[in-house]
Amino acid sequence: MGKVRAFGASDSPQAFLSREQVSMSRCRCKAGWLLLAFAGFLGTSPAAPARPRLVLKLGHGLPTTHAVHKAMLFMADRVQARSDGQMIVQVFPNEQLGNEKECIEALQLGYLAMTKVSSAPMESFVNKMKVFGVPYLFRNSEHFWKVLDGPIGKELLVAGEAKRLRGLCYYDAGARSFYTRSRAIHSPADLSGLKIRVQNSIMAVKMMQAMGGSATPIPFGELYTALDQGVVDGAENNAPSFVQARHYEVCGYYTLDEHTCLPDILMIGTRVWKKLDAEQRRILQEAADESVRYQRELWVEQEQKDLQVAREAGVEIIRPNKQPFRESVRPIWEEFQGSSDPKLAEIGDLIDRIQEVR
Ligand code: GCU
């Protein structure tokens, strides 16, 4: 059986997959994906300087100007410095290694070491992650961080261990709001008849149904073109993603209804995590924790700056009455709270516990 080098933990002999395993994988690799992921190993000759002991590849979908990307570079620098160059995290932005769902699957299979995804696509892998998709779950950002930094946040980070997915930390991804090409949204009624791009997330689809719009899941990297060509009438996201992905060039309205606060999550596959020794785990976790503090500062600045960029480019920024939006999604809360279905009740319990955090 032919063997190919796995690209999770590149030095690890156990991290090999057979060609058959790779080709049978559910991951729809983009053209060039394998070659790119192998790039870290090319060019090594007996005369070349010694390779670092461990190279961890991290794929994600955001542009390089985004605060979350910058935080991951910060984390990678820390890892390299703390390990005296023995551990390298290589960051691949812009869906170069696949979209978020594909990266999560690659982590499970062990041929991508790390990814950074929104909590939304994690829902199909880890039921409990759905709780973040409950609209208007958090009272404010203080409540949000108290939950994420506390026992519930920690519980959710490791809730995917059985699915070979481990969260290292959360990054701030603010609150998500609607943006539209040509119709201003002041209330849920304005969404009627509009096709709104959502993430690959059952909760986002439920939310759109409750609000009266039509949900169209599309990967983030394909969204600019979809908006530009009118495949969808709008989308929803935080200000940095709206601006840094240049969606504001093709959408004239941004309605700050702030329906969901979905954290970004830095993930490592447990296949790779288990191969790290205690010192390597400590270095990686500490670097991730430090990058969280750095990212939260960057985020506050970038959110304000990007809103201003959009405004100056002529985007109409709308601050609607949030009450009708809140009311429209009440059935989503009711579906979970007090349900006798164990999967729904699991989310209902989390909603209750999150509400109790003061
Ligand atoms: C945010 C988030 C990304 C996600 C994107 C999306 O920008 O940070 O991880 O891909 O939303 O809407 O798909």
Rounded Cα distance, 303 and 298, in Å: 9
Residue that finishes a domain, picked among 279, 299, 319? 299
pLDDT (tens digit per residue) in 184-221:
999 999 999 999 999 999 999 999 999 999 999 999 99
- Do residues 45 and 191 both lie within one domain? no
Whole-number pLDDT of residue 2: 33
DSSP secondary structure of 223-277: HHHHHHTTSSSEEEE-HHHHHHTTGGGT--EEEEEEEE-PPEEEEEEHHHHTTS-
Does pLDDT of 45 surpass 60?
A: no
**Which atom of ligand 1 is the closest one to the Cα of 118?**
9
Residues 6+ apart with CB under 8 A from 3: 16, 17, 18, 19
- Best residue among 124, 220, 295 to mutate for probing ligand 1, ranked by most atoms within 8 Å of CB: 220
**Which atom of ligand 1 is the closest one to the Cα of 240?**
7
**Which atom of ligand 1 is the closest one to the Cα of 173?**
8
- Do residues 269 and 234 both lie within one domain? no
- Do residues 110 and 255 both lie within one domain? no
Whole-number pLDDT of residue 36: 38
**Which atom of ligand 1 is the closest one to the Cα of 241?**
7
Six token digits for residue 340: 């006798």
**Residue range 48-55: average pLDDT?**
72
Q: Is 100 in the pocket of ligand 1 (CB under 6 A)?
A: yes
- Do residues 92 and 130 both lie within one domain? yes
Please count the other Cβ atoms lying within 10 Å of the Cβ belonging to residue 339: 15
- Do residues 53 and 160 both lie within one domain? yes
Six token digits for residue 50: 């010694």
Whole-number pLDDT of residue 34: 37
Closest residue by Cα to atom 3, ligand 1, is 118
- Best residue among 207, 237, 247 to mutate for probing ligand 1, ranked by most atoms within 8 Å of CB: 237
**Residue 272: CATH number of its domain:** 3.40.190.170
Q: Is 61 in the pocket of ligand 1 (CB under 6 A)?
A: yes
Q: How many domains does the chain have?
A: 2
**Which atom of ligand 1 is the closest one to the Cα of 60?**
9
Does pLDDT of 257 surpass 60?
A: yes
Confidence class for position 327, pLDDT limits 50, 70, 90:
very high
Does pLDDT of 147 surpass 60?
A: yes
Helix (H) or strand (E) holding 180: strand 176-180
- Do residues 82 and 155 both lie within one domain? yes
Q: Helix crossing, 67-82 with 278-312: angle to 10°?
A: 150
- Do residues 197 and 67 both lie within one domain? no
More reliable by pLDDT, 130 or 29: 130
Confidence class for position 47, pLDDT limits 50, 70, 90:
low
Measured CA to CA in angstroms, residue 174 lies from 182, 235, 256 at distances of 24, 16, 11
The sign of the CA dihedral 134, 136, 139, 140 is positive
Tell me the CA–centroid distance for residue 260 and ligand 1, in Å: 12
Tell me the CA–centroid distance for residue 277 and ligand 1, in Å: 32
Whole-number pLDDT of residue 67: 98
Tell me the CA–centroid distance for residue 220 and ligand 1, in Å: 6
Whole-number pLDDT of residue 49: 56
Question: Taking the chain, what is the end-to-end CA distance rounded to the nearest angstrom?
Answer: 57
Task: Write the DSSP symbol of residue 130.
Answer: G
- Do residues 254 and 290 both lie within one domain? no
- Do residues 55 and 77 both lie within one domain? yes
Q: Is 199 in the pocket of ligand 1 (CB under 6 A)?
A: yes
Whole-number pLDDT of residue 1: 31
Q: Are the C-beta atoms of residues 128 and 350 closer than 8 Å to each other? A: yes
Q: Is 200 in the pocket of ligand 1 (CB under 6 A)?
A: no
Residue that finishes a domain, picked among 284, 299, 314? 299
- Do residues 188 and 141 both lie within one domain? no
Show the domain range for 180. 176-262+305-356
pLDDT (tens digit per residue) in 165-188:
999 999 999 999 999 999 999 999
Whole-number pLDDT of residue 40: 36
- Do residues 111 and 129 both lie within one domain? yes
Residue that finishes a domain, picked among 299, 320, 347? 299
Residue ranges of the alpha helices (H) in 6-87? 19-24, 33-38, 67-82
Whole-number pLDDT of residue 50: 60
Please count the other Cβ atoms lying within 10 Å of the Cβ belonging to residue 221: 18
Whole-number pLDDT of residue 26: 37
Q: What is the pTM for the complete model shown?
A: 0.89
Task: Give percent above pLDDT 70 in the chain.
Answer: 85
- Do residues 37 and 143 both lie within one domain? yes
Rounded Cα distance, 250 and 306, in Å: 15
Six token digits for residue 78: 């820390």
**Residue range 31-49: average pLDDT?**
40
> Residue 16, Cα to own-chain centre: how many angstroms?
27
Tell me the CA–centroid distance for residue 191 and ligand 1, in Å: 21
Closest residue by Cα to atom 9, ligand 1, is 118
pLDDT (tens digit per residue) in 79-125:
999 999 999 999 999 999 999 999 999 999 999 999 999 999 999 99
Beta strand 87-92 with 54-60 is: parallel
Confidence class for position 51, pLDDT limits 50, 70, 90:
low
Closest residue by Cα to atom 13, ligand 1, is 220
